[in-house]
Amino acid sequence: MAADLIARLLELKGQVPSIPFPKDERELDALRVRYLGKSGVIPLLSREMAGVPKEQKPEAGKLLQEARAAVETIINDATQKIKVDKIQKDIDGEFFDITLPGAEPAFGARHPLSVVMDDIVGIFTSMGFQIEEGPEVESDYYNFEALNFPPDHPARDMQDTFHLPDIKRLLRTHTSPVQPRAMARYGPPLSVIAPGKVYRCDSDITHSPVFHQIEGFTIDRKVTMGDLKGTLQTFIHRLYGPRTKVRLRPSFFPFVEPGAEVDVSCVICGGKGCRVCKNTGWLEVLGAGMIHPNVLKFSNIDPDQWSGFAFGMGIERLAMRKYGVDDIRLFFENDMRFLRQF
């Protein structure tokens, strides 16, 4: 009788691995009833344990436990799998419309000129330039004279000026006055980036009476024109990407000498020629040069001891190209249909 029980338990143990894995709730219930139900296989065998002789009880008990654990493992695994399958099935089966419009938070936006300005200031400050701002109402001295624009010189025609006759001041025509101001305030060595508003008496689709510039300069011992090229190259590669070509060609600004106009290979056509670059393959980006000795002298800096370079750029022109804006006045009209696009 007892030997028979052990034999049947061994047989059950042998059967377990071949119990078919239940595929759904119904098969799972059937399995549970068959093995663990009141008159299931295991409870029935369990009841027979009473008649097993004492010395065989440990072996029989162990076999019974193992059989129960094996069956329970199957049932637990199956229960888990059926549950997971059901979740996945529901998910796989649903309809969901991702094309419904997104529920936007009420964000506004920065002005495109501010975005471009902040980007450029960010590049220069990370290169080591320090921000310095100057006043928008300037004296003739800082705006022109200290920058080597002699009185009654045709160079002044390049910048049509708004005057404040009551106080003998003017609205600065460029951010360059920050150069002599910073030189007077700090002295060399110095590396400054000066963003700000500037004013010229000019208004059409490419000129606004109010516009923005960024001026940068450095003064140190033995700064060379090669340093200017390298600095501008780094800047332009960060602004337009490392494959952009940079070209300097001689030009004239009274406060630099040698002076340069800086072109980049056209960001639209890559240099092949298009409408934006007027088929030249190049776009004018900024003006630059070595700080004119007269400018240093005006600020009591000895040009034989110190040298420096300076550069300046118009933000509107860069932003117009970046966003394909063809009328500068759009920047100052504040039409929401324009502002919302950025």
Partner 1 sequence: MRLSYLWLNDWVEHGLSPELLAAGLTSAGLETNIVRDLRGAYDNVVVGRVLSVSPHPDADNIRITEVDINGATLQIVCGAPNVAPDQRVAVARIGAKLPNGMVIEKRKLRGVESSGMICSEAELGISAESNGIMTLEPGIPLGAKLANHYELEDVILEIDITPNRGDCLSVWGAAREVAAISGGKLRLPDPMQEWGTGLENFSVYVENNDGCPRYTARAIRGVTVGPSPLKVRRRLFAAGVRPINNVVDATNYIMLETGHPLHAFDRRDLQDSRIIVRNARPGERFTTLDGKVHELAADALLIADAHRGVALAGVMGGLNSEVKPDTTDIILEAAYFDPVCVRKTAKALGVSTESSYRFERGVDPRGVPLASLLAARMIGASAGGTPDGFVDVYPMQWQAPAIRLRTTKVNDTLGLILSGQQVLNYLGSLGFDCKMEGDGLFAVTAPSWRHDIKIETDIIEEVARLHGYANIPATTPRLAQHEAVEGGTYRARSRMADLLAAAGFYETLNYSFINPAWRIGLGLAGKEPVPMENRINADLCELRTALLPGLLGAAALNLRKGEETLSLFETGTVFSRAVNEVREEFHCAAIMTAGEDELLGASIPRGFHRLKGILQKVIKALAGTEPAFVRPADAVRRQYLYTHRQAEIRVGETVIGVMGQMHPLALQQFDIEAPMVYFELSADALIQSRGKENTPMEPLPRFPGIKRDLALLVDERTEAGGIMETIIGTDRALIRHCRLFDLYQGPQVPAGKKSLAFRLLIQNPEQTLTDKAGDDLMAAILQRVGQRHGAELRM
Among the listed residues 40, 81, 251, 269, the single contact to partner 1 using CB under 8 A: 251
In the complex, the residues that contact Zn ion under the rule CB under 5 A are 266, 268-269, 274, 276-277
Q: Nearer Cβ to Zn ion, position 236 or 256? A: 236
119 vs 125: CA distance, rounded Å: 10
Q: Nearer Cβ to Zn ion, position 32 or 317? A: 317
Q: Nearer Cβ to partner 1, position 63 or 117? A: 117
Size of the site for partner 1 (CB under 8 A): 92
Among the listed residues 26, 166, 241, 300, the single contact to partner 1 using CB under 8 A: 166
Residue least distant from Zn ion (Cβ): 266
DSSP 40: S
Stretch that binds partner 1, among 21-29, 59-67, 84-92, 222-230 (CB under 8 A): 222-230
Cβ proximity of 288 and 311 under 8 Å: yes
27 vs 82: CA distance, rounded Å: 11
By CB under 8 A, tell whether 331 contacts partner 1: yes
Residues 273-292 that bind partner 1 (CB under 8 A): 290, 292
Minimum CB separation of residue 216 from Zn ion in Å reads 26
Please give the torsion angle defined by the CA atoms of residues 59, 64, 70 and 71, in that order, rounded to the nearest 10 degrees: 170
Interaction partner, residue 48 (Zn ion, partner 1, none; CB < 5-8 Å by kind): none
Q: How far, in whole angstroms, is CA 254 from its chain's centroid? A: 38
Interaction partner, residue 205 (partner 1, Zn ion, none; CB < 5-8 Å by kind): none
CB neighbour class for 128 (10 Å; exposed up to 12, middle 13-18, buried from 19): exposed
Contacts of 58 (CB under 8 A, 6+ apart): none
Q: Nearer Cβ to partner 1, position 89 or 185? A: 185
Residues 138-157 that bind partner 1 (CB under 8 A): 152-155, 157
296 vs 172: CA distance, rounded Å: 20
Amino acid at 53: P
Stretch that binds partner 1, among 9-17, 61-69, 88-96, 104-112 (CB under 8 A): 104-112
Cβ proximity of 170 and 162 under 8 Å: yes
Among the listed residues 17, 165, 241, 324, the single contact to partner 1 using CB under 8 A: 165
289 vs 119: CA distance, rounded Å: 23
Q: For 316, what's the count of Cα atoms within 13 Å in the CB-facing half-sphere? A: 19
Minimum CB separation of residue 133 from partner 1 in Å reads 5
By CB under 8 A, tell whether 229 contacts partner 1: yes
By CB under 8 A, tell whether 130 contacts partner 1: yes
Among the listed residues 51, 53, 272, 332, the single contact to partner 1 using CB under 8 A: 332
Minimum CB separation of residue 246 from partner 1 in Å reads 8
What tokens appear for 144 in the block? 């022109």
Give me the helix-helix angle, 2-15 and 57-93, nearest 10°.
20
Looking up tokens 């940079």 gives 246
Among the listed residues 70, 123, 268, 339, the single contact to partner 1 using CB under 8 A: 339
